Amino acid sequence: MSVTQTQSAIVPAAGGRPFSWRFTTPLFVGSALNPINSSLIATALLPIAHGLGIQIGRTAALVAALYLASATAQPTAGKAAEVFGPRRVFMSGIAMVALGAVLGGLAQGLSMLILSRVVIGLGTSCAYPTAMLLIQRRARDAGLTKPPGGVLGGLMIAGIATASLGLPLGGVLVNALTWRAVFLVNVPVAVIAFVAAVAWIEPDPKRAERMSARELASRLDLPGIVGFVSGMLTLLVFLFDLPTARWWVLALSLALWALLVLWELRARTPFLDVRLLAANSGLANTYLRFGLTQLCVYVVLYGITQWIESVRGFSESAAGLLLLPMTLVSGLLIAPLSRRGLVRGPVLAAAATCLLGSVGVLALGSGSSIGVVVAVTLVFGLAIGFSTAGNQIALTEHAPADQLGTASGLLRTFGYVGSIGASAVTGLVFHHNVTDQGVHRIGWIMTAVSLALVALTLADRTLRPARHH
């Protein structure tokens, strides 16, 4: 029996439902690992510092390590999945998550913890872009013109909207067990995802012929990957160092990006298709919209959370719980919007709610009731839901089918750049202490970003009136 026949036999096996819970469970579980791990560490930083006998400031490297690894690994994993097969890369990533979790759980020093976070970041980054390719393949094998919106919505809920769940989960794990639990909790989850993928996801087709090392390097565009990683890392190092402005690092990053563009213009199978982005304004605008929205949302997750703890006197666990309604609201929005395949309405609503929420931040103060604080975060929950659903559908409409893995990874990379930008903003404003005046400065910055988002969305000619499916 051929590979194609085997796949055709597998798809109907789920009782005529190609996207049954068996198929989606490992994809959703794997995709949730990255956003949850990004925030899971927050409540463990102080216990880690005490446990290892180091200054609390040094533990910030644990946050940066996962962000740096994830921002560069997402599109790289997508490109690898296009060449080697998405199931192979997905399962390799899950195995890396388990390895990184064990390294962190047994670590006796900060260096090993940083290595653990890098390995976890690399592993969790494989899930979302490979899941997009696996869903696309399953839809094609089932005779569908495009993946069901509900499945994409579920993936986006798992892959993005779950980020704030890490805060309360981390608090529970640290209080009930020790800080090592925030690493080791990944092991059973990774095992579940791996076993489910083996059992319920069809194997990748065997490659017709073995590629030489030179052909493989060309297909992967290894120089392009190295250039992208180098440019991204130097940019993120510059942002993480703020308020200390190391201008030579920024200059080096710009030079690396320029070299990357020159290389990709002549590459046979470019990792970062510069010509495509220049010609496909819809795809480029999708990335920019998503990055700007994530910047505003993560300012809330980082900055407003710090203000709640420092000025309002709430514990880290309580502050995390206050953000749960934001996650629930975003999740409730993503699913129905994704099923309807809407783009224009949701992205316009995302820009509007970002602006409304940013103005709401300007009204916050030490005398504000906690209900007002929750109301402001709920507005950003709406922004997450609208942005995630609309930009996800826009991605599937504008990205070439044979580059969906890389394109999906780049969407997440822009989201990470936005979140790192948010970290830089809060670091600059709250450099000395956390105050009401600092929150208002953050509000003005968010308002400016939101106005840019509104202008970008309104000017996007590729947006069409919402279509109902």
Domains of the chain (ranges plus CATH)? 17-201 (1.20.1250.20), 272-469 (1.20.1250.20)
Share of the chain above pLDDT 90, in %: 31
Whether 129 contacts 412, CB under 8 Å: yes
Number of Cβ within 10 Å of residue 18's Cβ equals: 21
pLDDT of amino acid 39: 77
Whether 463 contacts 457, CB under 8 Å: yes
Interval 285-339: pLDDT, tens: 999 999 999 999 888 877 887 788 777 777 766 777 777 788 788 878 887 888 8
**Mean pLDDT calculated for residue range 377-391:** 90
Interval 124-163: pLDDT, tens: 999 989 998 999 899 888 888 778 878 888 887 787 667 7
pLDDT of amino acid 209: 62
CA separation for the pair 250, 425 (Å, rounded): 17
H-run or E-run covering 42: none
Residue 57 has pLDDT above 70, yes or no: no
Whether 164 contacts 294, CB under 8 Å: no
CA separation for the pair 358, 451 (Å, rounded): 10
Cα dihedral 403, 405, 406, 412, rounded to 10, equals 140
Encoded tokens for 127: 């899930």
